[in-house]
Amino acid sequence: MKILISTFGTLGDVQPYLALAVGLRAAGHDVTLVTSASYTPWIARYGIQHCPTQLDIQAIQSVDCVIQSPTGCGAMEAAERLGIPACFAVPVPFAPTGAFPSFFQPLRRSLGRRSIA
Q: What was the pLDDT predicted at 46?
A: 97
SS3 content of the chain, % helix, strand, coil (to 5): 30, 20, 50
For 88, residues 6+ apart whose C-beta sits below 8 A from its C-beta are: 67, 68, 69, 70, 76
Say how far apart CA 105 and CA 91 lie, in whole Å: 17
- The domain limits of the chain are 2-88
Q: Give tens-digit pLDDT for 40-94.
A: 999 999 999 999 876 555 666 788 998 888 877 777 888 888 899 998 888 776 6
Pairing of strands 49-52, 65-68: unpaired
In the CATH scheme, what is the code of domain 2-88? 3.40.50.2000
